[in-house]
Chain A
């Protein structure tokens, strides 16, 4: 066991899969000698060689198209798209191609591709570097979309993602990269790709969140606890599919729920969670479903982002509103 940051936990997980399966390949912009612009793949080219860990020309559609052709010839690609905003250049590869191949080939061919990509606000990046674009991708049949909220899950989930035989969009939160540490077991362990996790048990209200908003929600739970209000916090981890059972079970207990996301409010993950609760568990509620999300604007300039991104105060305010309904 060693205390590792979120980013080191991912590096560790990639090391495990490269060591276990000689068919795995890591590639993308700057992932080779430079070890990635955030150093997520640092040391891996030295350890596994340039045939397994390599730089590509600068073209996102090319990188994901390359992944499809490599998967078609027996490889297990782990491409990196340097920032999630850059996936706009590769939307066809994600939504038009790799997610559909199993369907096209009657279930007989698969695309075991893990697309790693950093996202998330609060680190004052240039434009298009922090956008939460999961709302675009969760509506893509055949594509799994996951995002770990802590280092332990990050390692376990990257291993599960690579071992999965379907394409997985693996979203890594920029702000979490170096801001948290967990005890990380050495070697291989896995965390399931499609289950949410109750990260704090409670009885009075359920807060459903994912990625960096899980930490914000935990802060609120701590604060409410001082007033003897018991908040349960659920980390979705998988954004597509969504583990509704865990949510319904919690709501059955607490009868109140707030759904939190860093992304803009329109459609997407929070809207889907809200709709699922409304459709299947509304009789268990004794207050409206609360939602916390970013405004439906373009992602803001760096100097404004901390005011724009939903934080613990926003979650607390909404939680109190629902609690006092």
Chain B
């Protein structure tokens, strides 16, 4: 006679305990600006602390100015980064120029920190080829197909390993929704199989357009998705810029030292809409749901920490915001003065050596464009 469920193998208990190693989110400064890990906090110099704050103010101002430009009809697609400043600025600070970045469309601030110009960010949004022209920088374009960047980052990590590069990794961003894609698993698993130096970032901002995080998976954390592939991972408070930086830096150093890939999940929140193109969060979430995240704001937290140390004032921040705004306005001018690619030039980028059919199209557009 068949035994009752659970009498031979206790799946219920396996299920109840399998997330235990991920129950504690890594944190240095909590949402009330209380330093919960003094030892790690003390590893930061005053200059470093101020620098992180400046970068977050820079990103938030960039967001606000971008929204202004967007409302003025001067931009195309834009995915707001509002709320994700600690996650994005904390993580990007951990990487070096020789690290290869594979961003998604919400990762323009990291792309800019990694060498692209602000004007290029605007040009990408406007649909100008110069936006993606990174020269020799190890930047890939902002990926639109969720997950594709994960398998590609695994390939770049293997390439870096095969090149014999001693202090380099590939690193890649996706969101909570991205972890449901097949390519997410394939990328993490390929990097694991080859023990390639990849750092997989998951910015869990709670929402994949209108679908909440809990509907993506019953897994308690997204970090633990890496474990099945033999990849160590950590969930970090993504509203805590210092914790995000330390976790990412440790992950990067671990991978760069030849120990194989690592995954970092940052717990953050998308304060705004999915994109500037018509998404309205009030259709799928309430102000009450949003409030705790606004209370946990990364800038409020750091303002208090720095203020207590006499390193920051509102006056100083206001001045900085004005400076940044002026620079973004100059970048927008630069973007607007950048010539549009001609169809002829675009056609020439289809193949290295244009095919007869493309040659005929080039001739047709040359005639059109010379009129």
**Whole-angstrom distance from the CB of B189 to the nearest CB of chain A?**
6
Q: Which residues of A contact B (CB under 8 A)?
A: 25, 51, 56-57, 59, 61-62, 64-75, 92-93, 96-97, 102-108, 110, 141-142, 144, 164-166, 194, 241-245
Contact yes or no, A106 B183, CB < 8 A:
no
- For the complex of A and B, 7 pairs with smallest distance between CB atoms: A69-B155, A65-B151, A73-B159, A62-B186, A241-B355, A69-B156, A66-B155
Given known contacts A69-B159, A70-B158, A245-B356, A97 and B190 CB-to-CB distance under 8 angstroms:
no
Residue pair A65, B133 in contact (C-beta under 8 Å): no
- Assembly CA distance A26 to B186 (angstroms): 19
Which B-chain residue is minimally distant from A98 (CB atoms)?
A: B152
Check if B129 is an interface residue, CB within 8 A of chain A. yes
Report chain A residues within 8 Å CB of B163.
73-74
CB distance from A99 to the nearest CB of B (A): 9
Question: Does B148 interact with chain A (Cβ within 8 Å)?
Answer: yes
Partner of A166, one of B148, B153, B193, B352: B352
Docked CA distance A67–B190 (Å): 12
**A104-B145 in contact (CB<8A):** no
A75 to chain B, nearest CB (A): 5
What is the CA–CA distance of A65 and B156 in the complex, to the nearest angstrom?
9
- Report the minimal beta-carbon distance from A138 to chain B, rounded to whole angstroms: 11
Name the contact of A61 in the complex, choosing from B135, B183, B346 (C-beta under 8 A): B183
- B145 contacts across to A, CB distance below 8 A: 92, 96-97
Q: Do residues A59 and B189 form an inter-chain contact, with CB atoms below 8 A?
A: yes
A56-B193, A92-B148 known; A102-B155 Cβ under 8 A: no
Given A51-B162, A103-B349, A142-B350 in contact, is the A70-B155 Cβ separation under 8 Å? yes
The distance from the CB of A114 to the nearest CB of chain B, in whole angstroms, is 14
Q: Which residues of B contact A104 (CB under 8 A)?
A: 132, 141
Q: Which residues of A contact B236 (CB under 8 A)?
A: none
Residue of B nearest to A97 (CB): B148
Instruction: Check: B226 CB closer than 8 A to any chain A CB.
Output: no
CA distance A69 to B160 in the complex (A): 9
CA gap between A51 and B162 in the complex, in Å: 8
Interface check B22, CB cutoff 8 A: no
Q: Which residues of chain B have a CB within 8 Å of any CB of chain A? A: 100, 102, 129-130, 132-135, 140-141, 145, 148, 150-160, 162-163, 170, 182-183, 186-187, 189-190, 193, 341, 346, 348-352, 355-358
Q: B-side binding surface: helix, strand, loop or mixed? A: helix
Interface centre among B134, B148, B193, B351 (most CB of A within 10 A): B351
Given A69-B170, A70-B158, does the pair A106, B148 have CB atoms closer than 8 Å?
A: no
Q: Which residues of B contact A56 (CB under 8 A)?
A: 190, 193
B residues in contact with A73, CB < 8 Å = 100, 155-156, 159-160, 162-163, 170
Which residues of chain A have C-beta atoms less than 8 A from B356's C-beta? 194, 241, 243-245
CB distance from A188 to the nearest CB of B (A): 20
Query: Which residue of A51, A68, A104, A241 has the most chain B CB atoms within 10 A of its CB atom?
Result: A68
> Are the C-beta atoms of B349 and A107 separated by less than 8 Å?
yes
Which residues from A are CB-within-8-Å of B157? 69
B346 and A65 within 8 A (CB): no
How far apart are the CA atoms of A59 and B134 in the complex, in Å? 30
Measured CB to CB, the nearest residue on chain A to B135 is: A108
Say whether A68 contacts B346, CB under 8 Å.
no
Contact present for B141 and A141 (CB under 8 Å)? no
**Could you list some 22 contacts between A and B, CB below 8 A?**
A57-B189, A59-B189, A61-B186, A62-B186, A65-B151, A65-B187, A66-B152, A68-B151, A68-B152, A69-B102, A69-B151, A69-B159, A73-B100, A73-B163, A74-B159, A96-B145, A105-B134, A106-B130, A106-B133, A107-B348, A194-B355, A242-B357
Closest to A23 in B: B162
Q: Whole-angstrom distance from the CB of B258 to the nearest CB of chain A?
A: 15
Q: Assuming the A-B contacts A97-B145, A102-B351, are A65 and B140 also in contact, with contact meaning beta carbons closer than 8 angstroms in the complex?
A: no
| Docked CA distance A39–B223 (Å) | 40
Please tell me if the beta carbons of A67 and B133 are within 8 angstroms of each other in the complex: no
